[in-house]
């Protein structure tokens, strides 16, 4: 494998992006551990399948965004480690056919993993998997193109919140509990907020290419206010979890709050300055990761504490 091909595949399997699915799976696995033993082999297969779908989504999305001119329209001053796509086609790391092959292989392996789990472990997983694959593919792809119609943020919140988290729990326990569903909603909000802030550096390019994200539809300043509202709603929901029957230890998820607040304050102050926003993108990522770690550990600790 030559160096360009290796780098292209590495970008499509970007670990920064897989942190979202990893956080959701971690929370789902911790909730499952609260209610019984973990089947580690099935968990490993779940992780592998979702990882393959992540890489496939990135690859198929690269083709759509390249064809629309979106990736090429990102100005050098708006480049960010968290935005602007993986740029494997723009930078000539992969050809269009190579990118399509990565997408095909990734989707095939992810679907195969899901079918195997559905046949030999839990049939209901099939519906979770089909929903996830459809949302992943049509996030970019026509005719639905969710991210081009201002629906990508909702899709991300649903997939990386309830869908992956509850699906992980389902594989382990054979049903979905109210506790895991409640815990997954604020996580979905925070991961959706991470996507939201990542749309800021791409604002001009998205607008030019006709990609009508919520930031483009609302304008950067209005969207920055709503970003702060979404983060606040997520942590308000966390505060209400123990009164709804979850252990008090889930409040460990508050560890992510300072980073969410810092991201919101920076975005409100500088909604049109990419260089100022980049640190806030990292803080938004830390916010949802620490939230998932805290709530997940809190669920497991609550179980051990009786």
Give the model's pLDDT for residue 133: 94
Give the model's pLDDT for residue 107: 96
pTM: predicted TM-score of the whole model, two decimal places: 0.95
Using the 8-state DSSP alphabet, how is residue 126 labeled? Answer: H
Cis peptide before 151 (omega within 30 of 0): no
d(CA 11, CA 48): 17
* H or E element, residue 223: helix 220-240
Q: Are 187 and 290 in contact (CB under 8 A)?
A: no
Give the model's pLDDT for residue 42: 97
The pair phi, psi for residue 50, each rounded to 5°, is: -70, -40
Q: What stretches of 76-209 show up as alpha helix (H) in DSSP?
A: 96-120, 125-138, 152-158, 164-173, 178-198, 203-209
What pLDDT digit, counting tens, does each position of 190-209 carry?
Answer: 999 999 999 999 999 999 99
d(CA 199, CA 216): 9
Report all structural domains of the chain as residue ranges with CATH numbers, in order of start: 3-304 (1.10.600)
Give the model's pLDDT for residue 1: 63
Average pLDDT by stretches of 10, the chain with 306 residues: 84 82 96 95 96 93 92 87 87 93 96 97 94 94 93 94 97 94 97 95 92 94 96 97 94 98 97 93 97 96 57
d(CA 137, CA 71): 18
Give the model's pLDDT for residue 79: 87
């Amino acid at each position: 494998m030559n160096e360009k091909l290796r780098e292209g595949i590495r970008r499509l399997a970007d670990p920064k992006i897989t942190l979202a699915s990893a956080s959701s799976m971690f929370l789902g696995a911790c909730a499952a551990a609260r209610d019984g033993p973990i089947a580690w082999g099935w968990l490993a297969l779940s992780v592998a399948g979702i990882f393959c779908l992540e890489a496939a989504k990135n690859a198929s999305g690269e083709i759509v965004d390249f064809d629309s001119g979106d990736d090429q329209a990102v100005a050098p001053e708006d480049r960010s480690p968290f935005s602007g796509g993986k740029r494997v086609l723009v930078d000539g790391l992969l050809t269009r056919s190579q990118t399509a092959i990565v997408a095909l292989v990734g989707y095939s392996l992810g679907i195969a993993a899901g079918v195997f789990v559905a046949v030999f472990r839990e049939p209901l997983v099939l519906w979770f998997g089909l929903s996830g694959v459809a949302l992943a593919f049509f996030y970019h792809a026509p005719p639905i193109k969710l991210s081009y119609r201002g629906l990508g943020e909702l899709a991300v919140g649903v997939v990386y919140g309830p869908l992956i988290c509850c699906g992980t729990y389902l594989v382990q326990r054979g049903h979905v509990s109210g506790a895991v569903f409640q815990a997954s909603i604020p996580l979905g909000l925070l991961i959706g907020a991470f996507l939201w802030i990542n749309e800021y550096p791409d604002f001009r390019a998205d607008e030019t290419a006709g990609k009508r994200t919520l930031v483009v539809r609302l304008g950067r300043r209005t969207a920055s206010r709503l970003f702060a509202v979404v983060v606040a709603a997520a942590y308000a929901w966390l505060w209400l979890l123990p009164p709804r029957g979850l252990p008090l230890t889930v409040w460990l998820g508050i560890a992510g709050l300072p980073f969410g607040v810092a991201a919101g304050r920076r975005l409100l102050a500088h909604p049109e300055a990419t260089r100022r926003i980049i640190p806030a993108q990292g803080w938004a990522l830390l916010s949802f990761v620490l939230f998932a770690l805290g709530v997940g550990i809190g669920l497991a600790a609550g179980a051990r504490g009786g």
